[in-house]
A and B are shown apart, each in its own frame.
Chain A
Amino acid sequence: MHQTRILPGRSTGVLALIGAALIAAIDEIVFHQILAWHHFYDRSTTELGLVSDGLLHTAEVVGLAAGLVLYADLRRRNALSVPHAWAGLFLGLGGFQLFDGLVNHKVLRVHQVRYGVDTLPYDFVWSGVGVALSAVGVGLAVRAKRART
């Protein structure tokens, strides 16, 4: 028989990985390619920003593939905790959005949300979405924890 022990921590972590990779892919497809708001490279990026962008960008690609098989593995082992998985997904989505808004756009200046406009309202909305998604994630995590105890 397969083991049927539920793994809540792993369920949260794996879905957080998928969430972060998903929001990064949405950013790349919608804001870089379709709307063309973000610039590929705007020359004001710091060297550290260039390195961190390259590493994170590749981590998203590798993380998406890794996250999906780790999820399939949890399902196969009957080890997935669904409430924790939802919490993890929102924590990943929100955490990455917040990191992107604060660290990538502002500290490392990888690129801005939009060019030729006052970026302040855009930055507020960008990081605000990150805060909101993270808050949902924290709420779901608390509920998942209570439901188990």
Chain B
Amino acid sequence: MTAPGFVDWLLGTTVVLAAAAYLRAAASLRRRGDTWPRRRDVAFAAGGFAFLAALLVPVPGGPFTAHMAQHVVLAMAAPLLLVLGRPVTLMLRVAPSSVRRGVLAVAHSRAAVVLLFPPLAAVLDVGGLWLLYRTSLASATHHDEWLRSAVQLHVVLAGLLFTFVVCQLDPVRRRWNVVWRGLTLLGAGAAHAILAKTLHAWPPPGTNFTAADVQGGAQIMYYGGDLVELALAAALARQWYVRSGRARRFASRGFG
């Protein structure tokens, strides 16, 4: 793993500030008597902690294995925990009305509607990884600190976007049903698994990692991806179960 660069400090600081603001907002919400489940605070704080740990704690193993382990946490596991905390919903509940109007304007903008189209979010996320590891981009990041920063930022933001879109827990203008989001998860997960298998046999062009290092990294990508995809699928499945149960109760009371 390379030493944390400028973008890593930027991301780390942002996450710490976001977690602090989240916990403060949740506390103020409870003080005024609103309910806000504790498990959301725990999820968001754990996501922030995992994100920070992945940036700062050196991972044992070769450089490629360490890079992959870091990416699985930064772009998959931590985003899921952060998204489960429903940060946008919390912000809308506590922010003053001027801020709230700004957030809603962004959330309901045309650009947001396009970005939050599930297949597009998947292409930005996993398509970016294919570009990174199957072209000479990965080797180019070793010589250019700015390029490395841009790639790191893209990987993290695209991971967050994809998780946000698949879970769809926060209010957005255009909502996608569970079939759209489930099939997107299936497609993205498959593209991720296929990329991991090709990496096992063919390292990113132009790089000189050892074979054992590349194969270790590929397996972390494959099985680490599985675990997070299982958690994402479970979140989606639970959401369907709760919503369909609520809809049926509503209909059976004669309101349907």
Interface on A for B, CB 8 Å cutoff?
A: 1-2, 40-41, 43, 45, 50-51, 53-55, 57-59, 61-62, 64-66, 68-69, 72-73, 76-77
Band of interface residues on B: 20 to 34
A62 vs B215: C-alpha distance when bound (angstroms): 25
Please determine whether B241 and A55 come into contact, CB atoms closer than 8 angstroms: no
B185 touches which one: A51, A62, A64, A77 (CB < 8 A)? Answer: A62
CB of A62 within 8 A of CB of B252, answer no
Contact for A50 among B194, B215, B234, B245, CB less than 8 A: B194
Interface residue B193 (Cβ < 8 Å from any Cβ of A): yes
Give CA–CA (A45, B194) in the complex, Å: 12
**Given contacts A69-B240, A73-B244, A59 and B194 within 8 Å (CB-CB):** no
**Residues of chain A within 8 A of B189, CB atoms compared:** 54, 58, 61-62
Stretch at the interface among B9-17, B53-61, B145-153, B222-230: B222-230
Bound-complex Cα distance A40 to B201 (A): 10
Contact A62 B245 (CB under 8 A): no
Contacts of B252 in A (CB 8 A): 1-2
Give the residues in chain B near A64, CB-CB below 8 Å. 230, 233
28 sample A-B contacts, Cβ–Cβ < 8 Å, listed by A number: A2-B248, A40-B197, A40-B200, A40-B222, A43-B201, A50-B197, A54-B190, A54-B192, A55-B190, A57-B190, A58-B186, A58-B190, A58-B193, A61-B189, A61-B226, A62-B182, A62-B185, A62-B189, A62-B229, A64-B233, A65-B233, A65-B237, A66-B233, A66-B237, A69-B237, A69-B238, A69-B240, A69-B241
On whether the beta carbons of A51 and B226 are closer than 8 Å, the reply is: no
Whether a CB of chain A sits under 8 angstroms from the CB of B45 is no
Q: Kindly state the separation between the CA atoms of A9 and B197 in the bound complex, as whole angstroms.
A: 37
Q: 20 other contacts beyond A54-B193, A65-B237, with CB at 8 A cut-off?
A: A40-B215, A40-B222, A41-B200, A41-B218, A45-B197, A51-B194, A53-B197, A55-B186, A57-B226, A58-B186, A58-B190, A62-B182, A62-B186, A65-B230, A65-B234, A66-B233, A69-B237, A69-B238, A73-B241, A76-B245
User: Closest CB-CB distance, B207 to chain A, in whole Å?
Assistant: 18
Q: Is the CB of B194 within 8 A of A61?
A: no
A contact face: mostly helix, strand, loop, or mixed: helix
Pair count A-B, CB < 8 A? 76
* Pairs A-B, 10 closest by C-beta atoms: A58-B189, A65-B233, A54-B194, A54-B193, A69-B237, A54-B190, A55-B190, A65-B237, A69-B241, A58-B190
Given contacts A61-B189, A72-B241, whether A50 and B198 have CB atoms under 8 Å apart is: yes
Contacts of B233 in A (CB 8 A): 61-62, 64-66
Taking CB atoms, residues of chain A closer than 8 Å to B192 are: 54, 58
| Nearest opposing residue in chain B for A43, CB measure | B201
Q: Select from chain A the residue with minimum beta-carbon distance to B188.
A: A58
Within 8 A of A (CB), among B207-255: 215, 218-219, 222, 226, 229-230, 233-234, 236-238, 240-241, 244-245, 248, 252
Let me know if B182 and A57 touch, CB within 8 A: no
**Chain B residues in 8 Å Cβ range of A55:** 186, 190
Closest to A55 in B: B190
Nearest CB in chain B to that of A1: its residue: B252
Interchain nearest-CB distance for B241 vs A (Å): 5
CB closest chain-A residue, reference B183: A62
Which chain B residues border A40 with CB–CB below 8 Å? 197, 200, 215, 218-219, 222
CB distance from A69 to the nearest CB of B (A): 4
Give CA–CA (A55, B183) in the complex, Å: 11
Q: Which residues of chain B have C-beta atoms less than 8 A from A51's C-beta?
A: 190, 194
In whole Å, how far is A54's beta carbon from the nearest beta carbon of chain B?
Answer: 4
A43, B211: Cα distance in complex, Å: 14
In the complex, residue of chain A having the shortest beta-carbon distance to the beta carbon of B199: A41
